[in-house]
Copies of this chain bind each other. A is one copy, B any other.
Amino acid sequence: MILTVALNPALDVTYAVDRLRPGRIHRVRSVAERAGGKGLNVARVLHAVGATVVATGLAGGSTGDRVRHLLDADGVPHELTEIGGETRRTVVIADDAGATGLWEPGPVVSAAEWRTFLTRYEALLADAEVVVLSGSLPPGVPEDGYRTLVVTARAVGAVSVLDADGAAMRHGLAGGPDLVKPNAAELARLLERAEPASADGTGTALAEVLADARAAIDLGAREVVVSLGAEGLVAVTAQGSWRARLRRPVTGNATGAGDACVAALARGFVDARSWPDRLRDAVALSAAAVAHPTAGAVDPETVARLLPHIIVEEI
């Protein structure tokens, strides 16, 4: 079983409006809701491609109830620890010109709630081969929360995959996770360097990416996969280093592509496939997420169609 951890999940709300005009009142044409946040997005992709997954983490209030209800509707098994605060919402206003986002702050988590979660996490680890730690930490969760979760996973022989940013990532690395999956901007922040011109690192020199990935290994990761948007993935692993990408990139909505990538990498550990095969799978799932009309959703048929068009080169 793959255990995904969502410490700061969200109720994703998307409003379709004719045109967002500040200062005006808008009648919303349609409302779409989804269980969101990186950890739950990874869980949904894993479920969609047939992996055995359980989503754990923290959820509270009426938005937390709604998140659980939406996971049920998607058929994703979940074991979220109840907290007193209200799970945050992320509101996206979609009009013809694009998307406008409103990110609520996460709920404050008490020390007792965090301890309750840790007990549940340890129990769930008994059946987990791989643990995915993904996304931000809500206020109240210790800054080194991911370090604790990585160390606890290793103690029972579970593989840990970490996808986080800033201080949460830096502290998590100190625990020695088996794999981290930053994008170019997250990697730059981790190494406290100037961020690349584009968030997905397009145009960053390969040598620079490789050097940064090795620096992440020096900070504690066993293996590193860097996602570079349309330019694919660069992996520095115990078996060697590779670059993987689609012959011709797909166009679409890149939101959730990183979560699809993490889902594929987590599945790669369960299946114990070779790194080139894992990277092929990760590029295919990411691209399928970009191609899907719903942000972050993956169609297994698209994955199968894309797989033969992926180039993996040893570097």
**Residues of A bordering B, CB below 8 Å:** 15, 17, 20-28, 30-31, 61-63, 65-66, 69, 91, 93, 95, 97-105
In the complex, what residue of chain B is closest to A33 when comparing beta carbons? B86
The docked-state distance in angstroms from the alpha carbon of A25 to that of B17 is 17
Minimum distance in angstroms from A127 CB to a CB of chain B: 30
Number of copies of this chain that the complex holds: 2
Minimum distance in angstroms from A107 CB to a CB of chain B: 10
Q: Are A102 and B15 within 8 A (Cβ)?
A: yes
Q: Are B99 and A23 within 8 A (Cβ)?
A: yes
Minimum distance in angstroms from A223 CB to a CB of chain B: 31
The docked-state distance in angstroms from the alpha carbon of A203 to that of B196 is 58
Residue from B15, B69, B97, B104 in contact with A31 in the complex, judged by beta carbons closer than 8 Å: B104
A selection of 5 A-B contacts at a CB cut-off of 8 Å is A23-B99, A28-B102, A28-B103, A30-B105, A62-B62
Residues of B within 8 A of A15 (CB): 91, 102, 104
Residues of B within 8 A of A24 (CB): 100-101
The docked-state distance in angstroms from the alpha carbon of A184 to that of B17 is 28
Residues of B within 8 A of A26 (CB): 100-103
In the complex, what residue of chain B is closest to A105 when comparing beta carbons? B28
Q: Are A97 and B22 within 8 A (Cβ)?
A: yes
Residues of B within 8 A of A91 (CB): 15, 91, 102
Residues of B within 8 A of A63 (CB): 62, 66
Q: Are A22 and B25 within 8 A (Cβ)?
A: no
